[in-house]
Structures are given as structure tokens and as C-alpha cells.
Amino acid sequence: MAMVQVYECTQCEKKFAQQKWICPKCKNTEFHIKEVSGEGKVFSFTTIHVSSQEFSHLTPYSVALVDLQDGVRLTGRIMEKVEINDKVKCISNEDNTFVFEKISGIAGN
């Protein structure tokens, strides 16, 4: 499983997938990088059947919003068929392109 690096506000500890200049929660301007577990649940998804030429070799695939256990929502690719609330884990993160896989075949478990 790949660990995921997020940016955490040094004051209120809110976590963000992208670097921020100012925390929208507490207005603090200091952040540090923190590694968090790449496990979470599918919040929403769409399945891509027709893609650009660059990604056509991957079709069909799903693009999902994943709520990590650590409170961060990420967008990532999943090659398996998924449903909302399926548990997934991040298996790759290169250039902020997250790839997830299902932990189990049962939704919500």
C-alpha cells in the first residue's frame, strides 16, 4: 500500500491534498507535510468507457472520489468495478496521480 503525503495546517491540523498558502479553516499560513494511510471509502465515482488517446489503453476504468480515513478526499483511478462505500487503498501515487484498488469485494466492508 502506498502512503499518501498531505499538507497539514500546523495550527488546526486540517489536512489538504494540495498545498495551500492559507488555511481556509483558521487562516494560518504554516503547513507541514504528513504521511497518512492510503485507505478509505469510495464517496462517488464515474466509469470512463471512451477516453482520450493517451488513456485509451486503460478503458474502461473508474475515476473516484475517495474519502481517506485521515479526513482527506482524493480523486483517483480504479481499474476494478466499484460501488459507493467500497473500501479501497492507494497503491500508487506518481505526480499526484492516485491509483486505488479495492480492499474487499463487498461494498462498505
CATH of 4-102, one of 3.50.30.10, 3.20.20.60, 2.40.50.840, 3.30.1330.10: 2.40.50.840
Residue 46 · residue 60 · CB < 8 Å: no
Under 8 Å between Cβ of 62 and 75? no
pTM value is 0.83
Q: Where are the domains of the chain?
A: 4-102
User: For 37-78, how does the pLDDT look when each residue is reduced to its tens digit (9 = 90+)?
Assistant: 899 999 999 999 999 998 899 899 999 999 999 999 999 999
Q: How far apart are CA 2 and CA 60, in angstroms?
A: 23
